[in-house]
Amino acid sequence: MINADVLIIGAGPAGLQAAIHAARKKVSVVLVGKPENSALAGAHIENYLGVPGKADGSEILRIGTGQAEGFGCRMLKENVTSAARKDGGFEIVTETDEAVRAKAVILATGISRVKLGVPGEKELFGRGVSYCAACDGNFYKGKVVAIIGGETEAAASAELMTAYASKVYWVAKDIAASENMVRKASAAGAELVRAAAKAIKGDDRVNSLELDNGTVLELDGVFIELGAKSSADLAMDLDVMPEMDDTIKVDASCFTGIEGVYACGDVTGKPWQMAKAVGQGAVAGTAAAEWVRANVGK
């Protein structure tokens, strides 16, 4: 168990800036997330103050990570699999089953609901196509389903759906989830199919999934889970209700309305720009640290 004053979920520019500002307030800070999952990774920036030409996004993240650690932030380069309010604070669990407890949480997870981009996905959304097994799993009791994706959330969803569905296929060409998550899904009974989805088929509802190796899986539902646990799912785990577009509404101090919970960056809505993410990160990190210092022991 790791204990912290401020826990930050997300290792993009918003999360890293929040970590820097919170740590400078002399509170203990833990940041959980993978910089390579940030939208900035692999991108080029040419509209940020003081950075001429095209700056490499991955290099900015590398430098930012070093800065955050230099000010005392502890980094866990893992995905979060669950979050909850607990004992007057908050607790998250990572893909390697590491638990972190904190007095305040900052959500800097970026935008979510990554689309697969195959035929049938858009047409059958809500009629057998879902992006959230935790939200819709109950509708598939005794049914056959497929989970698509090789990341943490796909592994967690595959494990989860074995408690509802009669058969669970976990479809992924490449696996990025930890061995621990893969082992859990397999032990629960999910069947790993090493292939990529080519098309989702059905008339009024989903009835099959065509794979790139020519296989056709007959099933009742498809859950597209292409990343880590989504920002909307994590927010709801902490009793924060996302907007209809999965963004999180905050006030000028990046406060979500739930005591001890803040949000910053792309997850709070447009504009999806590094300048906004960094600015909100500074605000959220400062606000969370000051809230902890004012409320410790109360």
Residue that finishes a domain, picked among 180, 206, 224: 224
In contact, 32 and 78? CB cutoff 8 Å: yes
Whether residues 10 and 79 share a domain: the answer is yes
- Facing residues of 102 across strands? 4, 90
Whether residues 10 and 83 share a domain: the answer is yes
- Per-residue pLDDT tens for 175-220? 988 899 999 999 999 999 999 999 999 999 999 999 999 999 999 9
Q: Is 121 a domain residue?
A: no
- Facing residues of 184 across strands? none
Q: Decide if pLDDT at 295 tops 60.
A: yes
Q: Is 123 a domain residue?
A: no
Top pLDDT among 185 and 42 is at 185
In contact, 106 and 9? CB cutoff 8 Å: yes
Residue that finishes a domain, picked among 170, 191, 224: 224
Whether residues 153 and 235 share a domain: the answer is no
CA gap 124, 120 in Å, rounded: 6
Q: Is 119 a domain residue?
A: no
Q: How far apart are the first and last CA of the chain?
A: 23
Q: Is 71 a domain residue?
A: yes
Whether residues 210 and 238 share a domain: the answer is no
Q: Which residues, in sequence order, are CB contacts of 91 under 8 Å at separation 6+?
A: 83, 84, 99, 100, 101, 102
Whether residues 142 and 162 share a domain: the answer is yes
Worst-scoring range by mean pLDDT, 8-22, 67-81, 191-205, 214-228?
214-228
For strands 55-56 and 44-45, give the pairing. Answer: antiparallel
Whether residues 77 and 167 share a domain: the answer is no
CATH at 25: 3.50.50.60
Please state the separation of Cα 261 from the chain's center in Å: 16
Whether residues 195 and 271 share a domain: the answer is no
- Per-residue pLDDT tens for 78-130? 999 899 999 889 999 999 999 999 999 999 998 765 678 899 998 998 889 98
Whether residues 55 and 146 share a domain: the answer is no
Residue 105 structural domain: 2-112+229-295
The residue-averaged pLDDT of 54-82 equals 95
- Name the 3-class secondary structure at 198: strand
In contact, 12 and 267? CB cutoff 8 Å: no
Q: Is 185 a domain residue?
A: yes
**pTM recorded for the entire structure:** 0.76
Whether residues 235 and 220 share a domain: the answer is no
In contact, 63 and 47? CB cutoff 8 Å: no
- Name the 3-class secondary structure at 233: helix
Query: How many structural domains comprise the chain?
Result: 2
Q: Which long-range contacts (CB under 8 A, 24 or more apart) does 204-213 make?
A: 204/127, 205/124, 205/127, 205/128, 206/120, 206/124, 206/127, 206/128, 206/129, 207/128, 209/146, 209/148, 209/169, 209/171, 211/171, 212/173
User: How long, in residues, is the chain?
Assistant: 298
Whether residues 107 and 77 share a domain: the answer is yes
Whether residues 273 and 194 share a domain: the answer is no
Q: Is 85 a domain residue?
A: yes
Whether residues 205 and 253 share a domain: the answer is no
